[in-house]
């Protein structure tokens, strides 16, 4: 099967993790995963959503403008997993919310990443129709994607991924957004629009400033219920159910918050087994 025909589970804002319980008030609105990147990969995530930033002249991963984890730790986790498995992993670098002010900043970052992950990186813009066997036979199993200020440079050869983000504020809005994102495939000519493009649906609820302020006030009085963790734990099983019932045949990459609360990995495995048995039923 081609990688573009697989159901690939992933994590949203993968570097914004913390294993602390209970979380601090800041972590309530910035933490999207409760396990390290290495543990996310071990749990079954095969797509990582990384938002690099520069803080005090060092690379970090940020959620918005808040620094979360040193980028070096994220890269070490990825390399550790690649070294000890034969798995294929997709890493998307995007947003660059802090410290990237010039083209030079981006070029230095791309050069740094290319050097750090050279041993595992598959260099191609066009990966959607490649099979798993293609990656294994080539000996390179890490797919890197980049969405930043400068355009794709042929020297770096970053994979193309269509990233769909709903920016929704509630569970019902998330349900409607996922339906729109998946049903859109029915009206697109895949041969022309997605011929060499992976597709990632970012399936999570996003808090806006008014929601954070209201919840922070309620948290002070011991009555809050709307942290990202609480939304993620509530939404995870629902997202799995929606994909199981309606979209198990159309999904490509689905990225969620708090992946262990979702069941999306188990669903992806079942869906891929069914797709392998019936390759024309999608």
Q: What number is the average pLDDT over the span 131-157?
A: 83
Task: Say which range, 18-22, 202-206, 214-218, 274-278, has the weakest mean pLDDT.
Answer: 18-22
pLDDT of 134 > 70? The answer is yes
Q: Assess whether pLDDT exceeds 90 at residue 153.
A: no
pTM of the model: 0.94
* CB within 8 Å of 205: residues ≥ 6 apart: 168, 169, 170, 171, 173, 174, 228, 231, 232, 235, 257
Q: Would you place residue 222 in the very low, low, confident or very high pLDDT band (cuts 50, 70, 90)?
A: confident
DSSP letters along 189-223, please? -HHHHSTT-EEEEEE-B---HHHHHHHHHHHHTT-
pLDDT reported for residue 201: 97
Q: pLDDT digits over 245-260, tens only? A: 999 999 999 999 999 9
User: Has residue 192 got a pLDDT over 90?
Assistant: no
Q: What is the pLDDT of residue 281?
A: 56
pLDDT at residue 221, rounded to an integer:
85
pLDDT beyond 90 at 270? yes
228 pLDDT more than 70: yes
pLDDT above 70 as % of the chain:
92
Q: Please, what is the average pLDDT of the chain?
A: 91
The better pLDDT of the pair 147, 191 is held by: 147
């Amino acid at each position: 099967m081609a990688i573009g025909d697989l159901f690939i589970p992933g994590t949203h804002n993968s570097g914004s993790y913390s294993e602390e319980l209970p979380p601090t008030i800041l972590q309530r609105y910035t933490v999207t995963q409760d396990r390290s990147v290495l543990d996310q990969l071990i749990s079954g995530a095969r797509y990582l959503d990384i938002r690099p930033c520069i803080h005090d002249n060092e690379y970090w991963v940020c959620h918005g403008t808040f620094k979360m984890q040193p980028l070096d730790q994220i890269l070490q986790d990825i390399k550790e997993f690649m070294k000890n498995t034969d798995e294929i992993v997709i890493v998307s670098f995007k947003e660059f919310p802090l410290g990237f002010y010039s083209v030079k900043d981006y070029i230095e970052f791309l050069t740094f990443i290319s050097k750090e992950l050279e041993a595992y990186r598959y260099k191609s813009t066009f990966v959607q129709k490649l099979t798993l066997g293609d990656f294994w036979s080539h000996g390179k199993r890490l797919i890197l994607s980049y969405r930043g200020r400068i355009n794709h440079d042929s020297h770096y050869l970053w994979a193309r991924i269509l990233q769909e983000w709903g920016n929704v504020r509630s569970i019902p809005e998330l349900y409607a957004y996922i339906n729109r994102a998946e049903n859109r495939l029915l009206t697109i000519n895949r041969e022309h629009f997605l011929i060499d493009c992976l597709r990632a649906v970012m399936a999570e609820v996003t808090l806006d400033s008014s929601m954070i302020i209201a919840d922070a006030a309620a948290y002070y009085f011991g009555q809050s219920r709307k942290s990202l963790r609480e939304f993620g734990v509530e939404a995870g099983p629902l997202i799995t159910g929606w994909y199981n019932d309606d979209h198990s045949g159309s999904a490509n990459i689905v990225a969620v918050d708090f992946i262990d609360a979702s069941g999306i990995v188990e669903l992806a495995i079942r869906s891929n087994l069914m797709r392998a048995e019936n390759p024309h039923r999608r």
